[in-house]
Structure 1
């Protein structure tokens, strides 16, 4: 009786691990291509990227911290960052003068990446019992909240606001690409 249960558990663990590996394979083979595509769309949405700095400090130390984290934590962090970027663009960019098709395509690619990375996060949690909340994700959430409040809600000029948001998000996405490249 116990032998059958043991074999069933072992079989489930092996199958779960294969799913996690498949998820990581998706990230390895598709993330870079999609990333290049959404960075290109981000460049095409509007004019030049501004040299102006945002009134919210970029979380460089947060990215340095996550750079030393375990693979599972990096995937979760990347997933959370993509989710926050998607919500920032999706919720606040209704009145921008950008090419709407490029914006929609950009958001679709980010949502695709979020969904695929989210399946990895769920599998990591299931298979390895990774804790659901980590400090860097909370810090990232606070950063995006401040960015939304101080840039999108307080800046007067819609043009300078959207150009500044594009610059900040491009910076985030490029650093996330570096994190992905370091995984493999």
Structure 2
């Protein structure tokens, strides 16, 4: 009886380790390629990035905290941040003057990145509440307050670029 349970536990541990290893390989070999691609598209889909700052403070302490976190927590943070960015782009985009093809490609690659990272994250892991609050505040104080204007979307594009660059740095520190 105990032997069967022991073998079952060993089998489950090995399976979960393989999932993490595949995830590690994917992040190491593919994350940077997709990241470079969507950062390039983000830059190309509009004009110059605005010099104006969003009226929401960037969650710098959150990024400092995640630098010291365990690998799995970093992967969860990557996944959650990309998810929150994707949600930002679900809003009313009628005023956007960006190149439509580059925008669609950007969103598709972002979705691909999210799906791949999502397969690495345990469903039991809870999302980072402070990150979620930051993105809600960004949505409220930029998009909604500025009535989804072209200027508001430019601020979102700038903040998106900032976050995606910081995620790229985080992944670089993971290996």
Alpha-carbon offset, residue 5 of structure 1 = 2.7
Match of 1:128 in 2: none
TM-score by length of 1: 0.89
- Contact 2:78 2:167 (C-alpha < 8 Å) held by counterparts: yes
Alpha-carbon offset, residue 98 of structure 1 = 0.9
- Contact 1:86 1:111 (C-alpha < 8 Å) held by counterparts: yes
Tell me, in whole angstroms, the C-alpha distance in 2 between the residues paired with 1:2 and 1:157: 61
- Contact 2:95 2:148 (C-alpha < 8 Å) held by counterparts: no
Tell me, in whole angstroms, the C-alpha distance in 2 between the residues paired with 1:55 and 1:93: 20
Gaps of 5+ in 2: none
Name the stretch that deviates more: 88-97 or 7-16.
88-97
RMSD across aligned positions (CA): 1.6
Tell me, in whole angstroms, the C-alpha distance in 2 between the residues paired with 1:95 and 1:182: 38
What number of residue pairs does the alignment pair up? 175
Tell me, in whole angstroms, the C-alpha distance in 1 between the residues paired with 2:15 and 2:71: 19
Alpha-carbon offset, residue 82 of structure 1 = 0.1
Aligned pair 1:170/2:153, yes or no? no
Aligned pair 1:152/2:149, yes or no? no
SS in 2 for 1:50: coil
Alpha-carbon offset, residue 157 of structure 1 = 7.8
- Contact 1:41 1:106 (C-alpha < 8 Å) held by counterparts: yes
Gaps of 5+ in 1: 126-130
Name whichever structure is richer in helix by fraction.
Answer: 1
Alpha-carbon offset, residue 138 of structure 1 = 0.5
Assess, with a 3 A threshold, how the Cα gap between structure 1 residues 132 and 109 changes in structure 2: closer, same or farther. same
Name the stretch that deviates more: 111-120 or 28-37.
111-120
Match of 2:126 in 1: 133
Assess, with a 3 A threshold, how the Cα gap between structure 1 residues 48 and 133 changes in structure 2: closer, same or farther. same
Following TM superposition, where does structure 1 have runs of at least 4 consecutive aligned residues deviating by more than 4 angstroms? Answer: none
Assess, with a 3 A threshold, how the Cα gap between structure 1 residues 139 and 177 changes in structure 2: closer, same or farther. same
Tell me, in whole angstroms, the C-alpha distance in 1 between the residues paired with 2:82 and 2:69: 18
Alpha-carbon offset, residue 4 of structure 1 = 2.9
Match of 1:96 in 2: 96
Match of 1:161 in 2: 152
- Contact 2:84 2:132 (C-alpha < 8 Å) held by counterparts: yes
